[in-house]
A and B are shown apart, each in its own frame.
Chain A
Amino acid sequence: MYNEEEHDLALTKEQLVSLLGKMLLIRSCEEQVVKIYARGEIPGGVHTYIGQEAVATGVCAHLRLDDAVFSTHRGHGHALAKGMKPERLIAEVMGKATGCCGGRGGSMHLFEPSVGFYGTSGIVGPSILFASGAAYASKLANADRVGVAFFGDGASNNGAFHEGINMATAWGLPVIYVCENNLYATEVPFAMISKSPSIACRAQAYGLPGVDVDGNDVLAVYQAAGEAVTRARAGNGPTLIACRTYRVRAHSEGMRDTGYRTQEEVESWKVRDPILLFKTRLLGQGVIAQAEIDELEAEIRKTAEAAADFARRSPLPDPATVSDYLYS
């Protein structure tokens, strides 16, 4: 468990600002998505990443372009953190032809192989298996690429979690499992469907290290992820990182957010907003000035707005293409 006192990280200002910038980008883009959704301009559903930005940012900061990331239904943050361009994300979510998948997939089926992002998924669990498989391919090719799986507390109870982690550990695969425990699988609290004291402790059953991390502390995530990636690249096998975090919005946009949690609980997590916390720390330690933060925020907000604007102006896909790419 990491806490503030151990923040002795030899990170440069540039690195720290990069982390902040990435979290702000995710937040801004997601805010655009929320607005676009509220206007009725998204054909389907979206699950925003607001409140969990530190996890994607802290992990992906260690990844190369050729490392493979597999994500889950709440994957916009992972996509952006891995390097997908905001306009490709927003256009896809709006079902436009300029989206990363030409509008075929929408929010839950985002792919950007050129930056090593191999997909969000509408089914939870497979990301664990796919990341393990990507790691296997890396070993076959004698490369040092790693696979990273993002998934939630819900997926940790799926067979894929147990089968995949068991096999990856048995075979020593270079993969990192990042579980974002935001306390609810849709609206079902973890404690109601499992007697495991934590998700990290399940690692013991399969013989790999399991680490509990404060998922709203980007530097804590950064530290844990860095160690896991190093282990994997060195050929020492997988790691399970369980990040405790929270989503302050409903499970999916437009859903009512009441009945399964209290407003007090939500508020208690809002004051622990990862971006707020990080800004406060950076300011407090004199790493950055408020004016710089304001400037950074304004710039990022512009980028997000421009991406949203691009997406809105983009055309819808041509129905004649619907059968393309079915077979090789």
Chain B
Amino acid sequence: MAFEITLPRLGWDMVEGALASWLKQDGEFVRAGELLFSVEGDKAIQEIEALDSGYLRILPNGPQPGGEKVPVGTLLGYLVPQEQLASFRFPGGDLSDSPKQEAEAIELAEPALVTSQEQAGAPSGDGRTRRIYISPYARRLAEGLGVDWQMIKGSGRAGRIMAKDVEAIAILPKPEAPIAAPSSIQPTPPVQPVMPASALQPAFSAARTVMSPIRRKIAEHMAKSAHTTAPVTLTSEVDATELVTLRKTLKDDAASSGQAVPSYNDLLAKLTAQALLEHPLANARIEGEEIVQLATVNIAIAVDTDRGLIVPVLRDVQTKTLRQLAQESAALIEKTRSGTVSYEELQGATFTITNLGMFEIDAFTPIIDLPQCAILGAGRIMPKQVVVDAGAGRVEIRQMMFLSLTFDHRLIDGAQAARFLQRVKKFVEYPYLWLVG
């Protein structure tokens, strides 16, 4: 069998090289160890010795000296032992058919994966702009207990919600499986809490619904107000007879039929705005360490809708006529009830009026709508017997109404608030005083 001469590998990472020149002639006898050919490797030309003895037969259509680079292992020629010389033939036809040319490719195995790592599921965002931090265990616990953890205030570092925060507001679980989590939250293995035998029986079988965004927002807002302000409510029973007459007159005016008739809320808004001009402290807010005096009076009117309490805002009330206010408020209330009121229309109030008179409420303790510092509550107007002249012992039937003013004692003192309410009372009882502007 003739010995193959192939392009050698000179160095670990050499994959190709060029035949530089033959150092023996075709047909010449070569002894093993003699220099046979030279190769141009990566660095320089290297002379290669013959590994066997035989007569050199250079491959006719093999790589030419000085030619292009070829892969390591490429056949260059043969060294043919004497006894085979006569019968030696180059492998015919396609060299790639030659079994010797099937150089086994060394396949480097894919690095075996020797460790596997579980991918920790990341909770997806729920679309809220505020980032809520909750520990994995607390979240699992919340889902197992059926608690909406997004409303929980966390007591951990950086406001992180911890297991004890969840436990503190959890309702005891029903025996059945907890409600399905909203699809925006990644499923995590829910904690099946182990309740001690002495725990209260799950006797509440009331129906459950998830709080709507509005309800959540209101809840948050109310709680914040209750925890932040120092609310004090003053009540005063006022004689609204003149106000009632005013309204009736406006309503009965045939010439202005078809136009908006100022409601009691509109009247109260206008006269309150006037009173605020004289008592600006009630038209202010606390921001950090500062008291900000607001330059205009925007009065929010609380409106009851079937989606809950919504408060559209009448702007720059001090500059508007009653007629204008009547139109604006009618439009706002319509939009509010139909759900088309815009975000902007709900912003920027500096004072709020809330009227529960239609529900036969007299006095109450309205909650301040932060960042405002006061809120005026109006009760029902009803005829009462009133002493109009104590000396003469004269009693009349007058239209009486309670006003309830809650103010933030952080900002306003009792006497200041009382004086403001007194002025409002005056304006209710003597409308001409504010109608004049």
**Would B106 and A322 count as touching, CB distance under 8 A?**
no
B207 within 8 A of A: no
Which listed residue, B9, B107, B112, touches A40 by the CB 8 Å rule? Answer: B9
**Contact across chains for B109 and A316 when beta carbons are under 8 A apart:** yes
Residues in B103-118 with C-beta less than 8 Å from chain A: 103-104, 106-112, 114
Instruction: Given the known inter-chain contacts A254-B9, A254-B11, A254-B12, please indicate yes or no for A43 contacting B108, CB distance below 8 A.
Output: yes
Q: Contact at B109–A317, with CB atoms within 8 Å?
A: yes
Are B112 and A319 in contact, with the CB atoms below 8 A? Answer: yes
Chain A residues closer than 8 Å to B309, beta-carbon distance: none
Choose from A255, A270, A320 the contact partner of B11 (Cβ within 8 Å).
A255
Q: How far is the CB of A207 from chain B (nearest CB, A)?
A: 43
Q: Is the CB of B6 within 8 A of A39?
A: yes
- 1/0 per residue, CB under 8 A from B, across A293-324: the answer is 00000000000000000001000110110110
Q: Which residues of A contact B382 (CB under 8 A)?
A: none
B33 touching A319, Cβ below 8 Å: no
Binary contact track B204-248/A, C-beta < 8 Å → 1, others 0 = 000000000000000000000000000000000000000000000
Given contacts A39-B72, A40-B9, A256-B10, whether A320 and B106 have CB atoms under 8 Å apart is no
Tally inter-chain residue pairs, CB-CB below 8 A.
57
Q: Does B186 contact A (CB under 8 A)?
A: no
Question: Does A41 contact B103, Cβ atoms closer than 8 Å?
Answer: yes
User: What number of A residues sit within 8 Å (CB to CB) of B?
Assistant: 24
Interface residues in A233-286 (C-beta closer than 8 Å to B): 253-256, 270
Closest partner residue, chain B, to A321 (CB atom): B112
Segment of A29-37, A129-137, A150-158 engaged in the interface with chain B: A29-37
Question: Which of B6, B73, B106, B109 makes the CB contact (< 8 A) with A319?
Answer: B109
Q: Shortest CB–CB separation between residue B395 and chain A, in angstroms?
A: 103
Is B51 in contact with A40, judged by CB distance below 8 angstroms?
A: no
Contact A322 B112, beta carbon cutoff 8 Å: yes
B295 within 8 A of A: no
**CB-defined interface of B138-173 with A at 8 Å, one 1/0 digit per residue?**
000000000000000000000000000000000000
| Residue contact A38 to B109, C-beta cutoff 8 Å | no
The A-contacting residues of B in range 57-93, CB under 8 angstroms, are 71-73
A262–B297 Cα distance when bound, in Å, is 104
Q: Is the CB of A31 within 8 A of B51?
A: yes
Q: Which residue of B lies closest to A31 (CB)?
A: B51
Name the one of B11, B43, B106, B111 contacting A43, with C-beta atoms under 8 angstroms: B106
Taking CB atoms, residues of chain B closer than 8 Å to A253 are 9
Q: Is A44 in contact with chain B by the CB < 8 A criterion?
A: yes
Interface residue? A95 (CB, 8 A): yes
Q: Please name all residues of chain B whose beta carbon is closer than 8 Å to the beta carbon of A35 when the two chains form the complex.
A: 51
Contacts of A316 in B (CB 8 A): 107, 109
Q: A317-B109, A322-B112 are in contact. Are A41 and B11 (CB under 8 A)?
A: no
In the complex, what residues of B have CB within 8 A of residue A39's CB?
6, 8-9, 72-73, 103
Residues of A close to B109: CB separation below 8 A? 316-317, 319
Q: How far is the CA of A35 from the CA of B75 in the complex (A)?
A: 13
B112 contacts across to A, CB distance below 8 A: 319-320, 322-323
CB-based contact B9/A38 at 8 Å:
yes
Q: Is B15 an interface residue (CB 8 A)?
A: yes
| Min CB gap B402→A, angstroms | 84
A113 close to chain B: CB less than 8 A? no
Which of A44, A95, A254, A323 is within 8 Å of B14, CB to CB? A254
Report whether A44 and B8 are in contact in the complex, using a CB–CB cutoff of 8 Å: no
B25 contacts the other chain (Cβ, under 8 Å)?
no
> A254-B14, A256-B46 are known contacts. Are A37 and B51 too (CB-CB below 8 A)?
no
Encoded as 1 (CB less than 8 Å from any A CB) or 0, chain B from 3 to 33 comes to 0001011111011000000000000000001
Tell whether A45 is near chain B: CB-to-CB under 8 Å: yes
Q: How many angstroms between the C-alpha atoms of A39 and B9 in the bound complex?
A: 6
Complex Cα distance, B32 from A35, in Å, reads 13
| Complex CA distance for A136 and B391, rounded to whole angstroms | 129
Cβ A40 vs Cβ B11 within 8 A: no
> Min CB distance, A327 to chain B, in Å?
14
Residue of B nearest to A35 (CB): B51
Closest chain-B Cβ to A144's Cβ sits at a distance in Å of 43
Minimum CB–CB distance for B10 against chain A, Å: 5
- A43-B108, A312-B104, A322-B114 known; A38 vs B8 contact (CB < 8 Å): yes
Chain B residue at minimum C-beta to C-beta distance from A248:
B33
Task: Give A127-151 as 1s and 0s: 1 = Cβ < 8 Å from B's Cβ atoms.
Answer: 0000000000000000000000000
Query: Measured between alpha carbons, how far is A323 from B111 in the docked complex, in Å?
Result: 12
Residues of B within 8 A of A31 (CB): 51
- Closest CB in chain B relative to A50 CB, distance in Å: 11
Q: Which of A40, A254, A319 has a CB less than 8 Å from the CB of B15?
A: A40
Top 3 A-B pairs, shortest CB-CB distance: A38-B8, A40-B72, A319-B112
Q: Which residues of B contact A (CB under 8 A)?
A: 6, 8-12, 14-15, 33, 43, 46, 51, 71-73, 103-104, 106-112, 114
**Selected A-B contacts with CB under 8 Å, 16 pairs:** A38-B6, A38-B73, A39-B6, A39-B8, A40-B73, A40-B103, A40-B106, A41-B103, A41-B104, A43-B106, A95-B106, A254-B12, A256-B10, A316-B107, A319-B110, A319-B111
In the complex, besides A40-B103, A254-B11, A256-B46, 8 extra interface pairs with C-beta distance below 8 angstroms are A34-B51, A40-B106, A95-B106, A254-B12, A255-B11, A256-B10, A316-B109, A319-B110
